[in-house]
Amino acid sequence: MGDAGCVHFASYIKEYGYDSFSVVHAYFSACISKEARRRKALSCLCHKCGSSGPQLYSCLHCIYFGCKGAHMNEHYKQTKHFMALELCYGMLYCYQCRDFIYHSKCQTIAERHLRREARSLDKSLSWRPWSPSRLEIELLLKNPKRRHVTALTSIGLRGLLNLGSTCFMNCIVQALIHTPLLRDYFLAELHECTSKTAAKCLVCEVSRLFQEFYSGARGPLSLHRLLHLIWNHARHLAGYEQQDAHEFFIATLDVLHRHCKISMTELAANAAAAAAAAAAASEKSKSSQSNSLHQNQHVSGNFLQQHQAASQQDALQLLPQTGSANMSGGGVTSTNAPTATGSASSATGATETQTDPNPAQCNCIIDQIFTGGLQSDVVCQACKGVSTTIDPFWDISLDLGESSNGQGGYGGPPKSLIDCLERFTRAEHLGSSAKIKCNTCNSYQESTKQLSMRTLPIVASFHLKRFEHSSLIDKKISTFISFPAELDMTPFMSQKKSDQQQQPHRGSPSTLNAMDRGGGENNGSSSTSSSSSLLTGTSNVTTSCAPNDADGRKHRTDGSGDTADFRYSLYAVINHVGTLDAGHYTAYVRHQKDIWVKCDDHIITTATLKQVLDSEGYLLFYHKKILEYE
């Protein structure tokens, strides 16, 4: 049996078409709208015994629901209606073949309904196995040779030549090459670029590098083209002196992000122009096609005649329902709370609705993988009103120096990544010099500020700020900071922090060293700028809510759901050896499961997990262990 089902289903489609399958699947299997779910709850009962399961079938010839087994068999014997739809999993069943059948077009319709159901319920789709497209099938047939990848394979490993103090670039490239979703994206050749911008497109160059890494060749590569493009698009990194790996990482993401947006904009403009031309050409044939379609809709006379009165109005409302206000991510609106606008020293009393952390976020691969949302809650100490600001970020910079407030045992330097994150997300008393104007109190009031993770990216990167700069001396902090192979970010989510605030407060908040908002520095110095400020075209989202308000969060990665999973696995570590003036960067990357390698420019050697965890650590890259499929 192929992808066209059986001969009986072919005759059924020839007589009735696909409408009955589509309507039954949309209303009683996938339930693509709230109204569909209501109708299923009320009418999806066995016509014989009145039960709702455990496994119901629907006849595709007429309106009849029956339990699996005797009740549906009896209906088939009496009516000779041989096609039915199993409602739990949406599978077609042929009573003449006495077997389930598969039909590619029905599967396409079912998948479309499942996506609409997921959007309606604001949930993710269940995992689906990869299935090749028609183009991919043609490519596989044209290239029958396959490369067998074993546990000891070196495919994907290439050394990188040092072009003169370019170890900082080599390490970042190794980390990006071994980012799983980025690898899958570029090896699938999903990036499209116009001929006008391809020569200057950094995304095209990175795509070429992925092809080189996974070509099977073993010789080291030269990144002169990549370096030249970075120099052209990030002028502050141009030159032959040593640069900071963290600053290069942020600049590379920024350029990739901008070039992805340019490519997507140009392709969309070309598609819109083509669509406009096609629309003008097809305008004349629309009326005839509509008449022809109306005449050919002979879908199970009994089914449509009986179902039309009950569901015609519902079918017309399906599209508006899936795009209703419930899908817009609207949250809780509250009053009587100060709203910070850019800084803690100024506030307005406007009442706003919570929105996405990054309203201008594009759908490019960089944003999908690396962009998260950092939530800042400023609390008025007089009325306890909360002003919430959400900033996009690409990485989190963590201070390693001593805290200015030694209360609660946090006066000394941190000893682990968990210590750094706990200190990063602890409440900070802003003091009398940074009062906010609270419209509820109608006066300037002292406040506290607390950072937390509103949304987490697929790849969470942490920057340990080992380079300290002051007016007196510049130094490197070589303190050993332990970091785990498996990291759980649940304690640092906004929802978790909100739950903790509902408990009785113990003690006074200590000083929090938050991410600086200043500019970066070169010559081996650490960039102290917030990564969110580098997101071109994005802006802060300021919201106001009642104290301890945790509702209105649209995204599943914000910690609002009980089933949310925030576990991460380490896959790359970048180390800096030496001093500020004379240093060298190396990288550890996870090549395959439980297989680590050390990348020292053109030299690639095997490593153990213990060596990785015992290293000093400058940039840490963690990948989300469980992904939600949209």
Provide the percentage of residues in the chain whose pLDDT is more than 70: 73
Residues 6 or more apart from 503 whose CB is under 8 A from it? none
Domains and CATH numbers, the chain: 7-121 (3.30.40.10)
Q: List strand residue ranges (DSSP E) for 474-592, in order.
A: 474-476, 486-488, 541-545, 567-578, 583-592
- The answer to whether 191 touches 606, Cβ cutoff 8 Å, is no
Is the pLDDT assigned to residue 338 strictly greater than 90? no
User: Which tokens in the block code for residue 286?
Assistant: 């629309």
The pairing of strands 396-399 and 459-465 is parallel
Q: How far apart are CA 452 and CA 483, in angstroms?
A: 20
- Region for residue 617 given its phi and psi (left: phi exceeds 0; alpha: psi -120 to 50; beta: otherwise): left
Give the mean model confidence (pLDDT) for residues 201-227: 91
Q: How far apart are CA 420 and CA 571, in angstroms?
A: 19
The pairing of strands 474-476 and 541-545 is unpaired
Catalytic residue among 47, 429, 584, 602: 584
User: Which tokens in the block code for residue 233?
Assistant: 């698009």
Hey, is 458 helix, strand or coil? coil
Is the pLDDT assigned to residue 355 strictly greater than 60? no
Predicted local confidence at residue 68, as pLDDT: 87
Predicted local confidence at residue 494, as pLDDT: 85
Confidence class for position 524, pLDDT limits 50, 70, 90: very low
Give the mean model confidence (pLDDT) for residues 315-319: 33
- Is-catalytic flag, 584? yes
Q: Between 622 and 437, where is the model more confident? A: 622
Q: How far apart are CA 243 and CA 238, in angstroms?
A: 9
Q: How far apart are CA 190 and CA 115, in angstroms?
A: 21
Q: List strand residue ranges (DSSP E) for 13-55, in order.
A: none
Q: Between 182 and 302, where is the model more confident? A: 182
What confidence tens digit (pLDDT) does each residue in 564-619 have? Answer: 689 999 999 999 998 887 889 999 999 988 899 999 999 999 999 999 999 999 99
Is the pLDDT assigned to residue 104 strictly greater than 80? yes
User: Which tokens in the block code for residue 74?
Assistant: 């009896």
Beta bridge partners of 519: none
- The span from the first CA to the last CA of the chain, in angstroms, equals 30
Range with the largest mean pLDDT of 379-383, 409-413, 469-473: 379-383
Catalytic residue among 167, 193, 201, 362: 167
Is the pLDDT assigned to residue 370 strictly greater than 90? yes
What confidence tens digit (pLDDT) does each residue in 479-495 have? Answer: 899 999 999 999 999 87
User: Which tokens in the block code for residue 79?
Assistant: 């009516």
- The answer to whether 169 touches 226, Cβ cutoff 8 Å, is yes
Give the mean model confidence (pLDDT) for residues 204-230: 91
- Is-catalytic flag, 362? no
Lowest-pLDDT choice from 168-172, 382-386, 572-576: 382-386
- The answer to whether 399 touches 513, Cβ cutoff 8 Å, is yes
